[in-house]
Amino acid sequence: MTPNVETARSAEQIGAPVDYSKDPGEVAVLLNDAKAALRSDREFARTCVARALDLLHEDPAPASRPSACLHGGLAGWQVRHTVAYIEAHLESSIRIKDLAALTRLSASHFSRAFKQSFGQAPMTYVAGQRVQLAQRLLLTTEDSMCQIALACGMCDQAHLTRVFRRLVGDTPMAWRRRHADLARDDQEADRRMADG
């Protein structure tokens, strides 16, 4: 069975719409691993493709998608306004009191309602969104760590490194290097396939 057949069958079995808001880094790594292993280890390639599909089709974790039915959580409009504000202001300072004012709640009530809806504290969520933005910038730009830190609302490179390591388990530079190596391996494999 080829990976394309496996991919189609997995998508058909899951039967759910693809959620492209997932972390593109993890899905990209899995697909790059699958591509690199296609000639030498087809079973591993299938496993990588299946896991990438699982990530795209699984229900989002409570931390990434709030439950509208939770008692004491944020209302739907409050969730939408909060998420939109956070996404639009990742590069600047985001304060609890500003988010609370946006939702017409006190800071303490907002923090409790946010945690009830998202499963994590507001600033933990913001840090996660900033790290996801940093991952996208690391994959798609040649910007320095300092430039990426500032673009993600971090005060300096050390702050980015500290938060990134806490959430991802690696430094931004090591993470970028590993993903650059994967991209280079893909280019070499493509060149070999074109030549052979």
Give the predicted TM-score (pTM) of the model: 0.61
Cα–Cα distance for residue pair 155/40, rounded to 1 Å: 45
- Cβ 121 vs Cβ 114: under 8 Å: yes
Low-confidence ranges of the chain (pLDDT < 50): 1-22, 62-63, 67-69
At residue 186, the pLDDT reads 66
Distance from the first to the final alpha carbon of the chain:
23
For the chain, give every domain's residue range. Answer: 3-59, 76-175
What is the architecture, at CATH level 2, of domain 76-175?
A: Orthogonal Bundle (1.10)
Cα–Cα distance for residue pair 167/144, rounded to 1 Å: 20
At residue 12, the pLDDT reads 36
At residue 32, the pLDDT reads 76
- Cβ 146 vs Cβ 157: under 8 Å: yes
pLDDT digits (tens, 9 = 90+) for 118-159: 999 999 999 999 999 999 999 999 999 999 999 999 999 999
At residue 58, the pLDDT reads 58
At residue 45, the pLDDT reads 74
